[in-house]
Structure 1
Amino acid sequence: MKLHQLTTLAAIAETGSIRAAARQLGLSPAAVTKSVRELEADLRTPLVIRGTTGVAFTEYGRALVVHARLVLGQLARAEAELEAMRGAAAGKLSVGVTPWLALTFLPETVNRFKQRMPDVQLEFFEGLLAVVQPRLRDGSLDFSIGRPPPASPQSEFHNVPLFSTHSAVVARRGHPLAECRTLHDLQDAQWVLNWDPASRESMADKLFRKRGMRVPHTIHLAHSFAIVLGLLQQTDFLSIFPWPLVEVNIAKENLRALPLREVVDETTVSITSRRGVPVSPAGACFIECLREVIDEGARSQDADRRRLFHSIELLF
């Protein structure tokens, strides 16, 4: 296998066709086709199925695309590290970010990062597990910041706890259940949650079953935080927000936190990366900027700013 062949295969997977891959690589379609055929001949395995509507990958092709992306990603990280050592940090940093972090700590972190590494291009993905895990696996994502995937000794991912926080149940102002004091009063409510489907059962256990409650029948899932905000303002749905997000959005979005006696949900936010893959200099800088923002915010003399961090417990 040659590097240009792996580059070609990854480009076909990303663009979905021979012609689009050729445009991306600055080659002719014939050259892209030749590269794939040579790779198939070397491996004695069919990789790509060509059709009138584009291309599809065989089982072998799909497996090799994952490895191709890992190889190319690792080479890009090596080049970026060498550039950083020469004092010319550039390249790209791809980060998965859970939506509520994007609305609280991310902007200040990015501003700080760009002051230190102005030539690094940032790429962000919404940090639901179903989105970030495949990208961590194939190397197209450097790391994610959010709720970590389930840990196990055999896990392909490495989690570093960053901080923990708890959550609140939120509703529109004037909601008929706005003055409820316990989760047991909310069993018949309708919910809209920005949960990852993969974590739905574990979250239902934590919130409802372990408290002796039945899981509500009407838990709607929204794969966009903007959808959750829109629905909360115009319906009688309830949702669950981490407290830092409550602090920045209640006044603006016309929402309020219910005065519940229980601690609704304890969330640990971690940095998750592929096990065995070192963090790039740009990634280490970004993480350090995030830690500084949280640490300085927790000690701020500004009461409004400090309130954003009142539920945060640093774990580093």
Structure 2
Amino acid sequence: MKLHQLSTLAAIADTGSLRAAARSLDVSPAAVTKAVRELEADLHAPLVIRNTNGITFTEYGRALVVHARLVLGQLARAEAELDAMRGAAAGKLSIGVTPWVALTFLPATVLRFRERMPEVQLEFFEGLLAVVQPRLRDGTLDFSIGRPPPASPQSEFHHEPLFSTHSAVIARRGHPLANCRSLLELEDAEWVLNWDPASRESMADNLFLRRGMRVPRTIHLAHSFAILTGLITHTDMLSICPWPLVELSMAKENLCALPLRETVDETTVSVTARRSSPPGPAGRCFLDCLHEVIDEGARSRDPDMRRLFHSIELLL
């Protein structure tokens, strides 16, 4: 396998067609086709299927794309680290961020980071597990700041806990169930949740079944906080959000937290990265900036910041 062949395969996966991949690589479509055919011949396996709808990958192709992205990402990180050692830091830093961190600590962290590394391009993804975990795995994301994937001794990821917080059940102001005191009163409600579909059963078990109530019949999934708040604000759906996000959004979005007696879903926010690819100089600088902003926020006299820290427990 040659580097240009792996670059070609990754470009096809990113763009969805041979012609678009050729444009992104600034080569001819014939060169892209040749690179794929040579790679298939070397591996004795079909990688792509060409049809009237475009290009699809075989199981061999899908597996190789993951490795190609890892190889290319590792080379890019190596170049960035050497540039940083020469005092010429550049490149790109890709980060997944959970919504409430994006709305609180992220802006000040970015400003501080830009002062220290102005040549580094930043790319952010909303930090839902279903979005960030595949990107962490294939190397297109440097690290994420949010709920970590399930831990295990053999996990491919390393987690650095930052803080923990409980969640609240939220609804629009004036909701018929706004004054409920127990989760048992919400069994027949319609829910929209910002959960990873892969962890839906375990989450539902932790929240509902262990409290002796049945799992609600209707649970919708929203993969964006903007979609989630829009639905809650204009419908009778209920949702669950970490308390810091509730503190930030209740007044602005015309939402309320239900006064439940039960504690709802404790969440830990961590920095998660591949064990084999710890953050490079730019990533370490960004995390240093984040820690500084959090430390200053915990000592702030600003009432909004004090209210935010009242709802979280630092684990740094």
Q: Structure 1-normalised TM-score? A: 0.95
Unaligned runs of 5+ in 1: none
Which residue number corresponds to residue 283 of structure 1?
283
5 Å-filtered alignment, 1:84-99, equals 84-99=84-99
**Kindly tell me: are residues 54 and 218 of structure 1, through their superposed partners in 2, closer, same or farther at Cα, counting changes over 3 Å?**
closer
5 Å-filtered alignment, 1:143-158, equals 143-158=143-158
CA separation in 2, counterparts of 1:49 and 1:189? Answer: 46
Which residue number corresponds to residue 258 of structure 2?
258
CA drift at 1:167: 1.2
Q: Please list the CA deviations of residues 246-295 of structure 1 after superposition, one character each: whole Å capped at 9, or x if unmatched.
A: 11111111111122222212100111111221211111122222222222
5 Å-filtered alignment, 1:67-82, equals 67-82=67-82
CA drift at 1:100: 2.8
CA separation in 2, counterparts of 1:145 and 1:29? Answer: 39
Letter in 1 for 2:222: A
RMSD: 1.5
Q: Secondary structure at the match of 1:240?
A: strand
Letter in 1 for 2:114: K
Letter in 2 for 1:81: E
Q: What is the number of equivalent residue pairs in this alignment?
A: 316
Q: Please list the CA deviations of residues 203-252 of structure 1 after superposition, one character each: whole Å capped at 9, or x if unmatched.
A: 11221222222222222222221121111111222111111111111111
Letter in 2 for 1:190: E
Which residue number corresponds to residue 46 of structure 1?
46
- Residues 1:22 and 2:22 are matched in the alignment: yes
Which residue number corresponds to residue 134 of structure 2?
134
CA drift at 1:73: 0.1
Larger mean Cα displacement after TM superposition, 64-73 or 284-293: 284-293
CA separation in 2, counterparts of 1:220 and 1:280? Answer: 38
1:294 and 1:309 in contact (8 A); partners too:
no
CA drift at 1:142: 0.8
Q: Secondary structure at the match of 1:141?
A: coil
5 Å-filtered alignment, 1:177-188, equals 177-188=177-188
- Residues 1:105 and 2:131 are matched in the alignment: no
CA drift at 1:157: 1.7
5 Å-filtered alignment, 1:158-177, equals 158-177=158-177
CA separation in 2, counterparts of 1:171 and 1:47? Answer: 48
Q: Please list the CA deviations of residues 26-46 of structure 1 after superposition, one character each: whole Å capped at 9, or x if unmatched.
A: 111112222222222222332
Larger mean Cα displacement after TM superposition, 205-214 or 139-148: 205-214
Q: Please list the CA deviations of residues 105-162 of structure 1 after superposition, one character each: whole Å capped at 9, or x if unmatched.
A: 2222222221221111111112222211211111111111111111112222222211
Larger mean Cα displacement after TM superposition, 257-266 or 139-148: 257-266
CA separation in 2, counterparts of 1:207 and 1:105? Answer: 28
Letter in 2 for 1:257: A
Q: Secondary structure at the match of 2:309?
A: coil
CA separation in 2, counterparts of 1:47 and 1:265? Answer: 43
Unaligned runs of 5+ in 2: none
1:98 and 1:146 in contact (8 A); partners too:
yes
Larger mean Cα displacement after TM superposition, 249-258 or 199-208: 199-208
CA separation in 1, counterparts of 2:27 and 2:109? Answer: 39
Larger mean Cα displacement after TM superposition, 20-29 or 54-63: 54-63
CA separation in 2, counterparts of 1:104 and 1:258? Answer: 23
Letter in 2 for 1:168: A
Which residue number corresponds to residue 219 of structure 1?
219
